Amino acid sequence: MSSALKDQIQDAMKAAMKGGEKERLAVIRLIMSAIKQVEVDERIELDDSRTLAILDKMVKQRRESISQFKSGNRDDLADKEQAEIDIITEFLPQALTEKEIESIINGAISQTGAESMKDMGKVMGIVKPQITGRADVGAVSGKIKSLLS
């Protein structure tokens, strides 16, 4: 079973090679190597949801780096990380709007009957697969906490 997302990334890599887009090619190769690493470590072929999780993690790492670089007055490095984020997000599904996120959270809360913070895990279990790659999981988690507390 092959991942459609992985095929899309490989096609983009070939296009970047043919087009001589060095920076884009470097980022796409980073993506492919992260995917291969997991496949080799776990001896599996990744499906789209696992591939999305890897891309999401890569974006999150770069966001953290940007905040570190900005606090260290290294805007040049922050800009490089932002350029990488822009390329990685091309392969992620369209981001969810605030209304869509609220709707998913409210649906999960009513589905689980969550009433307090001790139900947080149940709610996140339903919400996380729906938002991975489409919203910042940390920010959504914060919204759920505020609703449950």
What's the pLDDT tens digit per position in 54-102?
998 999 999 999 999 999 999 999 999 999 999 999 999 888 899 999 9
User: pTM value?
Assistant: 0.78
Tokens of 120: 């947080």
Residue 63, domain CATH: 1.10.1510.10
Q: How many CB atoms lie within 10 A of CB 83?
A: 14
Which of 58, 89, 120 terminates a domain? The answer is 89
Residue 125, domain CATH: 1.10.10.410
Domain range for 24: 4-89
- pLDDT for res 1: 44
Local structure of 39: helix, strand or coil: helix
One domain for residues 15 and 71 = yes
Q: What is the largest CA-CA distance in the chain?
A: 55
One domain for residues 132 and 65 = no
What's the pLDDT tens digit per position in 9-65?
999 999 999 999 999 999 999 999 999 999 999 999 999 888 988 998 999 999 999
Please check the confidence at residue 132 and state whether its pLDDT lies above 90: no
Q: What separation, in Å, do the N-terminal and C-terminal C-alpha atoms of the chain show?
A: 43
One domain for residues 27 and 81 = yes
Which of 89, 108, 132 terminates a domain? The answer is 89
Kindly tell me the burial class for residue 102, based on how many C-beta atoms sit within 10 Å of its own C-beta (0-12, 13-18, 19 or more). middle
- pLDDT for res 125: 93
- pLDDT for res 88: 95
- pLDDT for res 2: 63
